[in-house]
Chain A
Amino acid sequence: GENVEQHPSTLSVQEGDSAVIKCTYSDSASNYFPWYKQELGKGPQLIIDIRSNVGEKKDQRIAVTLNKTAKHFSLHITETQPEDSAVYFCAASISINDMRFGAGTRLTVKP
């Protein structure tokens, strides 16, 4: 089955700096790669996703890149703000009923 590894496990940046979280996956058949943000006391919330026919996708300060040959994808957050502090999860899947998640990255943005 699919195995997703996520790095780093913790990340601390100064407000205004960029943050990058990286994930690798094992199943070359995976074609859907979402990123979720989980704030304290809440469930994970989808913030951006990318499908295998696209190499990069942007949404304001958030971008995701995908390298299918190397089987890795990354989340980039620019101009970080304190409200970006949360746990971020990547996932990889070929179907909606078997999504595999990375272990999570705790991002802290210092004011």
Chain B
Amino acid sequence: KAGVTQTPRYLIKTRGQQVTLSCSPISGHRSVSWYQQTPGQGLQFLFEYFSETQRNKGNFPGRFSGRQFSNSRSEMNVSTLELGDSALYLCASSLAAGVGLSGANVLTFGAGSRLTVL
């Protein structure tokens, strides 16, 4: 069974540009969550999507946005990039028929997209 696939793995952008990252969840998983990982802040929750709807959002500015498609694939976009946006962006998928947690409803992470802003 294929895992969570994130593309691209590495990218370099300059300040002011925008970037789009892609995430393909495990087959059958309908929930996709995004996290930002930096050395100083650890893993910070960005947002979660289920059935093309954003169900929850973390404390990030509006420059950070996302969407989910009917096949559960998700994208996140960061506009007007700042130096501080340099980070590893992680996507995680789960079955999540509801928001409750059961034995099968766990988060599985991809390898991440490492963004460097110059």
Contact = CB atoms under 8 A, between A and B. Distances in A.
Nearest to B105: A96
Nearest to A100: B45
B45 A46 contact: no
Contacts of A41: 111
A102 B112 CA distance: 18
A34 B33 CA distance: 16
A43 B4 contact: yes
A55 to B, nearest CB: 17
A34 B110 CA distance: 17
B96 A43 contact: no
Contacts of A93: 101
Interface of B: 4, 31, 33, 35, 41-43, 45, 48, 50, 55-56, 90, 92, 94, 96, 99-101, 105-112
Interface of A: 31-32, 34, 36, 41-46, 49, 51, 89, 93-104
